[in-house]
């Protein structure tokens, strides 16, 4: 009877151990939006993170510059991935600048192929290089998280995808983007300069709907002009201007519209709609 109970006890203990491991795996699962910048090893690194419980992670290695900027802006964590067999490369600097400019959350560094580097001092040196690079664009470079993809990497820093997932689970979500500033619409009277007053003599330039720059004293303000019909050169017309944000404007304020450092029209604000 005792002989029968011993194997059963071992099985139960193993099952309990596996349950604890599964519970720990569930604890390190994170819903943070993570993006990975780097070279050809990004795809494998991303797959490793997904297997470790990081559900929202995106490989940006094949994205356009605009695509990278948009993804970074929406991310809570940007991972600068470096191939440990090559060390930081010029593209690493570009990735760092992109992360610094557009990521509203946390920027960290990671090394791929770290198991292939047998010299622990070399890994330490590469870590220092990455921290120095981060410090040039982010004052937190000295304390930024640096992790390694392989559990057998010769380093004391977090290594293996389980450890990386645990690091990510402790990171805060990105701050929400600032609220969009309300637009402002104003009605104005414009006088469009005749062709002899414009910077290209003899060419009539009607002022139609579109984007322009207004000069109010020492301020240059972008705006969108809306008019049902173009205001012809030498004529005066009423149009609507829309500004991307609320300005301190009032009736009677004077301005000019410039184009290529030349004045193409002058105007006066008649009323502020909102």
What pLDDT score does 124 carry? 95
* Residue that has been written with the tokens 């993006």 in this structure: 35
What pLDDT score does 138 carry? 77
Tell me the two tokens of residue 38. Answer: 């780097």
Q: Across residues 177-185, what is the average pLDDT? A: 77
Tell me the two tokens of residue 121. Answer: 């001092």
Mean pLDDT computed over every residue of the chain: 83
| Distance in angstroms (rounded) separating the CA atoms of residues 177 and 182 | 15
Q: Looking at the chain, which residues constitute the CATH 2.40.30.10 domain(s)?
A: 184-272
Whether 2 shows a pLDDT value over 70: the answer reads no
Q: Taking Cα atoms as reference points, which of 245, 242, 237, 246 lies closest to residue 268?
A: 237
Q: Looking at the chain, which residues constitute the CATH 3.40.50.300 domain(s)?
A: 28-169
| Structure confidence by residue, pLDDT tens digits, 13-35 | 444 443 344 334 434 546 789 99
Q: 28-169 has which CATH code?
A: 3.40.50.300
- Asked which of 33-47, 142-156, 174-188 is least confident by mean pLDDT, the reply is 174-188
Going by pLDDT thresholds of 50, 70 and 90, the confidence category of residue 176 is confident
| Structure confidence by residue, pLDDT tens digits, 81-104 | 999 999 999 899 999 999 999 998
Asked whether the whole model's pTM tops 0.85, one would answer: no
Percentage of the chain modeled with pLDDT above 90: 51
Beta-carbon-side half-sphere exposure of residue 253 (alpha carbons within 13 Å): 17
What pLDDT score does 200 carry? 52
171 burial via Cβ count (<10 Å: 0-12, 13-18, 19+): middle
Instruction: Give the domain 184-272 fold.
Output: Elongation Factor Tu (Ef-tu); domain 3 (2.40.30)
| Structure confidence by residue, pLDDT tens digits, 243-252 | 888 888 888 8
Whether 1 shows a pLDDT value over 70: the answer reads no
């Amino acid at each position: 009877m005792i002989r029968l109970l011993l194997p059963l006890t071992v099985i139960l203990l193993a099952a309990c151990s596996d349950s604890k491991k599964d519970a720990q795996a569930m604890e390190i699962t994170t819903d943070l939006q993570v993006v990975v910048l780097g070279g050809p090893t990004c795809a494998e690194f991303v797959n490793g993170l997904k297997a470790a419980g990081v559900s929202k992670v995106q490989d940006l290695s094949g994205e356009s510059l605009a695509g990278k900027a948009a993804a970074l802006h929406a991310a809570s964590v940007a991972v600068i991935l470096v191939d440990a067999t090559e060390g930081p490369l010029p593209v690493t600097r570009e990735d760092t600048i992109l992360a610094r400019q557009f990521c509203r959350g946390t920027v960290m560094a990671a090394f791929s192929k770290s198991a292939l580097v047998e010299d622990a001092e070399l890994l330490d040196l590469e870590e220092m290089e990455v921290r120095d690079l981060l410090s040039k664009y982010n004052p937190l470079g000295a304390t930024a998280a640096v992790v390694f993809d392989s559990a057998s990497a010769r380093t004391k820093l977090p290594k293996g995808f389980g450890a990386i997932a645990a690091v990510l689970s402790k990171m805060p979500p990105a701050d929400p983007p600032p609220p969009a500033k309300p637009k402002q619409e104003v009605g104005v009277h414009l006088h469009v300069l005749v062709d002899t007053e414009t910077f290209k003599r003899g060419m009539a330039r009607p002022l139609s709907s579109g984007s322009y720059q207004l000069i109010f004293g020492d301020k240059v303000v972008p705006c969108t002009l809306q008019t049902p019909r173009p205001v012809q050169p030498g004529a005066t017309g009423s149009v609507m201007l829309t500004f991307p944000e609320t300005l301190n404007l009032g009736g009677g304020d004077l301005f000019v519209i410039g184009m290529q450092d030349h004045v193409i029209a002058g105007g006066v604000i008649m009323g502020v709609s909102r």
